[in-house]
Amino acid sequence: MNFYYSLDTIIMTLQIKSLEAYKTIYQKSVEKPEAFWAEQADTFVWRKKWDKVLDWEFKTPNVKWFVGGKLNITENCLDRHLEERGGKTALIWESNEITGTTQKYTYRELHAAVCQCANALKANGIEKGDRVCFYMPMVPELAIAVLACARIGAIHSVVFAGFSAQALADRIKDAKAKMLICSDYNRRGAKNIPVKQVVDDALTMGCDSVKTVLVHKNTGDSIDMNALDVWWHEAMQGQSTECEATEMDSEDMLFILYTSGSTGKPKGVVHTCGGYMVYTCFSFKNVFQYQEEDVYWCTADIGWITGHSYIVYGPLLAGATTVMFEGVPTYPDAGRFWAICEKHKVNQFYTAPTAIRALMAKGDNWPEQYDLSSIKVLGTVGEPINEEAWKWYEEKIGKGKAPIVDTWWQTETGGVLITPLPGITDTKPTYASYPMPGVQPILVDAEGKEILENEKEGLLCIKFPWPSMLRTTYGDHQRCCHTYFSPFKDKYFTGDGARRDADGRYRIIGRVDDVINVSGHRLGTAEIENAINQHPQVIESAVVGYPHDIKGQGIYAYVIVGEEAKNNTDLEKAIRAVVNTEIGPIAKPDQIQVVSGLPKTRSGKIMRRILRKIAAKDMDKLGDVSTLLNPEIVEEIKKGRG
């Protein structure tokens, strides 16, 4: 088998080491982006080198990186490390129970497990191009099976195992998944959540494409095994621990990951093999300044993009030791994160502002009980971190010695785009700060005109492609074009507003579309409204985000109900139950206000700007309401807000 190497030995991905180097490399990366990314791509194993670095046209959109290149991403995650790092720990898994199991996989052991699983998938009919859906807790088998899909060219689609059966079914049907992989139960804190039962319910909702359900025995609690079900351990039995990797084109699909949008239907964001590989490794090495003997821990779930890029692919591509945690930060107590950091001498710790705020509320005594001196870099992800939480994180966890990287990126971007580089660039509370090399952010006004001055706010766009950007939305390319590339000519529109300070740092100031960021998870208001409207007594609803002390943003629902429901004391409980069934507990409204009407324009559009202000109790700046069809409703809603 012939591989392409740029030199006699593989060069490790570029790691920036100084502020001057950052400035020089950044300048080079925006002046000659194709040459810059070609240099980074040269550090990987390719079956065939690319014919052209970049082929792009934003209007369509049509973006291709490393055109004609052939590779398999798992050869870069696993095989290329075997000679020098075969005995190095690749994955540390920490179980939910504090007295439970810790499992460690060396690169050689992980390679064998992935190959064995890949052979089991093939034995159960999975081929290149098939979609495999996952609904699993944070167990090693999830990471192993994701990599096994990539090994044989199957496309993985991981669904967060907190979504409802209906939400799972919607994603299975959209992807036309041929196989579903799940566990019996999910151990999460003090609860055992019946994952398999949710899967069984979903499969009654028209998921005819599924031919096999692979069931991992996580707890061993009782479940029903049905005609499509195959036990994981039985499928693996007797399978070889060697599996030749399938050759993939650089632009072949690697995975589909569903994210909420401004319509009721989730979007299947598509990422491809070559560009995603290059960017996730480059960003991981630089954002966290990972060194060979470090232990890195990202607390995210693999059901979200953070888990894909910075638990599985980025760390393994870089030959790192990555930690995976099954549980929650407050079980059995609020010291759990810090106990794990002490136990494994974690060097880079990456978590969400929601978790930081929740742990901050539990008191300083919890982190003070543990030795956190190993931590060199702290990271946050999912939403902008508020200044109070930032300072607590810096002082109580980092002891003033570990810089904080407040990373901004999206499911659609594939990797971190704006961030400080620890120990290299400065940090400023509430600011994501500076762009990564090769990333060209700009601010535009509502008409799309670029804002050149600093100390200004605008809409955040990116004006040149980067390797890990989404290629399409699965099965609906027009939606991708409309959502991300149509609003402003020749630019990727992030959907976020931002402010740029005098020194060029960026501060993300929130979504400008109908998406709410709840605990770092993006939820479309239309999807939640559709769920609320399933309640038989709800006539109409409008959902907005509002400031929440722990979650960052909470969900505020305004609902119009029929006469018979107005005295229903269980109405709020019933509405939340419907949302739980349709989407999952993460989407349940925090506040529900019954109203007699909603503020609408004469064309029937709901004025969410007004509803957001009222939900936030910012009622002195509602602006002109005289153009509304029903301006009198505003005062009524204000009084009802309390």
Domain boundaries, the chain: 19-74+255-294+329-511, 84-247, 517-641
Task: Determine the CATH number of domain 84-247.
Answer: 3.40.50.12780
Asked whether residue 6 carries a pLDDT value surpassing 70, the answer given is no
pLDDT band at 602 (very low <50, low <70, confident <90, very high): low
Q: What is the mean pLDDT of residues 115-127?
A: 98
Strand order in the sheet with 179-183: 229-231, 212-216, 179-183, 131-135, 155-158, 253-259, 267-272, 472-473
Yes or no: say if 163 and 197 are a contact pair by the CB < 8 Å rule.
no
Average pLDDT, the chain: 92
Asked whether residue 630 carries a pLDDT value surpassing 90, the answer given is no
Yes or no: say if 405 and 378 are a contact pair by the CB < 8 Å rule.
yes
**pLDDT of 549-560, one tens digit each?**
899 899 999 999
What backbone torsions phi and psi does residue 144 show, to the nearest 5 degrees? Answer: -60, -45
**pLDDT of 16-37, one tens digit each?**
999 999 999 999 999 999 999 9
Coil, strand, or helix at residue 578? helix
pLDDT band at 534 (very low <50, low <70, confident <90, very high): confident
What backbone torsions phi and psi does residue 222 show, to the nearest 5 degrees? Answer: -65, 135
627 versus 122: the higher-pLDDT residue is 122
pLDDT at 3: 46
Give the up-direction half-sphere exposure of residue 519: CA atoms within 13 A in the CB hemisphere.
Answer: 12
Give the up-direction half-sphere exposure of residue 264: CA atoms within 13 A in the CB hemisphere.
Answer: 12
CA 342/CA 355 separation, integer angstroms: 18
Q: CA 300, 373, 102: angle at the middle one, nearest 5?
A: 50
pLDDT band at 517 (very low <50, low <70, confident <90, very high): confident
Q: How many angstroms separate the Cα of 277 from the Cα of each of 23, 105, 323?
A: 24, 22, 20
Coil, strand, or helix at residue 281? helix
Asked whether residue 407 carries a pLDDT value surpassing 90, the answer given is yes
Q: 3-state SS string over 46-90?
A: ECECCCEEEEEECCCCEEEEEECCEECHHHHHCHHHHHHHCCCEE
pLDDT at 265: 75
Q: How many angstroms separate the Cα of 343 from the Cα of each of 102, 310, 404, 607?
A: 11, 21, 22, 51
Task: Determine the CATH number of domain 517-641.
Answer: 3.30.300.30
Residue 478's contacts (CB-CB under 8 Å, 6 or more residues apart) are none
Task: Determine the CATH number of domain 19-74+255-294+329-511.
Answer: 3.40.50.12780
The distance of Cα 113 from the centroid of its chain, to the nearest Å, equals 25
pLDDT at 5: 42
Asked whether residue 300 carries a pLDDT value surpassing 60, the answer given is yes
Residue 151's contacts (CB-CB under 8 Å, 6 or more residues apart) are 72, 74, 114, 115, 118, 243, 245, 246
CA 149/CA 115 separation, integer angstroms: 10
Least-confidence region, from 131-145, 440-454, 492-506, 527-541:
527-541
CA 577/CA 571 separation, integer angstroms: 10
Per CATH, 19-74+255-294+329-511 and 517-641 having the same topology is answered no
Coil, strand, or helix at residue 582? helix
pTM for the predicted model, two decimal places: 0.87
Q: What is the mean pLDDT of residues 134-153?
A: 98
pLDDT at 530: 81
Yes or no: say if 265 and 295 are a contact pair by the CB < 8 Å rule.
no
